[in-house]
Amino acid sequence: MTTVEITQPGPWLAINDRHHFAVRNARTQAWRHAAKVYAKAQHAQPVEGAVEVRAVIHKATRVHYDLDGVAATVKACVDGLRDAGVIPEDDTSVVARFVVEPGPVGKPGRVVVHVTPIEAAA
């Protein structure tokens, strides 16, 4: 299993975001780049074969949120892990399970992504 902790680089992304596409893109790229940088800094090892991606969301405040609403943030993080070489691809040929769960409140906000080979996750 490989675990990468990604500290919040900017606003959380939301699937219901209505900002201008350039604003959305800049925010998305910030999360994607942060995931790549943190994966490399934490010496995340590549995982081969089919994997489960489990993302634990740690917001900095106790504000309630829709768990499925942070999917855009998690997708940007998974793209960054692909960019870092942790997973070879982010489609269903590699990512066979995708789980998002809330974690405890903690400052700064962060996403902790666990990438586990399916054989080890069973």
At residue 120, the pLDDT reads 52
| DSSP secondary structure, 29-41, as one string | HHHHHHHHHHHHH
**What values do phi and psi take at 80, rounded to 5?**
-65, -35
pLDDT higher than 60, residue 65: yes
Domains, the chain, in order of start with CATH, read: 2-121 (3.30.1330.70)
Q: Report the candidate in 47, 44, 45, 39 with the shortest Cα–Cα distance to residue 120.
A: 47
* pTM reported for the whole predicted model: 0.93
The rounded Cα 37 to chain-centroid distance in angstroms is 13
Q: What are the tens digits of pLDDT across the range 28-59? A: 999 999 999 999 999 999 999 999 999 999 99
The average pLDDT across 68-86 equals 96
Helices 21-41 and 71-83: crossing angle in degrees, nearest 10, is 50
pLDDT-above-70 percentage for the chain: 98
- Phi then psi dihedrals of residue 90, to 5 deg: -115, 20
Between β-strands 95-102 and 2-7, what pairing exists: parallel, antiparallel or unpaired?
A: unpaired
**Is the confidence at residue 80, as pLDDT, over 60?**
yes
The whole-number pLDDT of residue 39 equals 98
